[in-house]
Amino acid sequence: MKKIVIGILSFVFIAAFISCSTDTNPQIRVKNERSDTVNILVQSSENNKIKINDVEPGETSGYQTIPEGNITATAVIQNESVSFMAAKNTAYTIIISIGKSPEIIIDK
């Protein structure tokens, strides 16, 4: 009987451990809809800076991890910025296109 109780408690502990998920930091990528290469400067409210450079026309960069909180992304070629609040467990795509300000899309 003691072995059964230990087995059940072990199973419950393992199931609880596996079901707990950890929060992941926000991620960001750039989609270039222009006809020339784009560079983006991403800056957090803590003044952390990430550069996403040389995104070719029609391409999308890979995701990069950013800190949670207020984020400003500046399209260098257009010298236009977009700001947003980055939340944990969320991925964002910045779309750079001709004649428009940068757009933010939340990827689910």
Residue 16 φ/ψ, nearest 5 degrees: -65, -40
Enclosing domain of residue 31: 24-107
In a domain, 3, yes or no: no
Domain for residue 19, yes or no? no
pLDDT at residue 94, rounded to an integer: 92
Interval 19-78: pLDDT, tens: 555 789 999 999 999 899 999 999 998 889 999 999 999 999 999 999 999 999 998 877
Tell me what pLDDT residue 19 has.
Answer: 56
Please indicate, yes or no, if residue 103 is contained in any of the structural domains.
yes
Distance CA 87, CA 67 (A): 9
Q: Is the pLDDT of residue 10 over 80?
A: no
Between these two residues, 36 and 102, which has the higher pLDDT value? 36
CATH number at residue 83: 2.60.40.3160
Total number of domains in the chain = 1
Token pair of 61, please? 């960069």
In a domain, 8, yes or no: no
- Whether 91 is covered by a domain: the verdict is yes
| Residue where the block lists tokens 């991620």 | 27
Please check the confidence at residue 16 and state whether its pLDDT lies above 70. no
Q: What phi-psi label fits residue 89: left (phi over 0), alpha (psi between -120 and 50 degrees) or beta?
A: left
Q: Rounded to an integer, what distance in angstroms lies between the CA atom of residue 64 and that of residue 43?
A: 13
Q: Is residue 29 part of a domain?
A: yes
Calculate mean pLDDT across residues 83-89: 93
Residue 97 forms part of a structural domain: yes
Is 5 a member of any domain? no
Beta-ladder partners of 29: 93
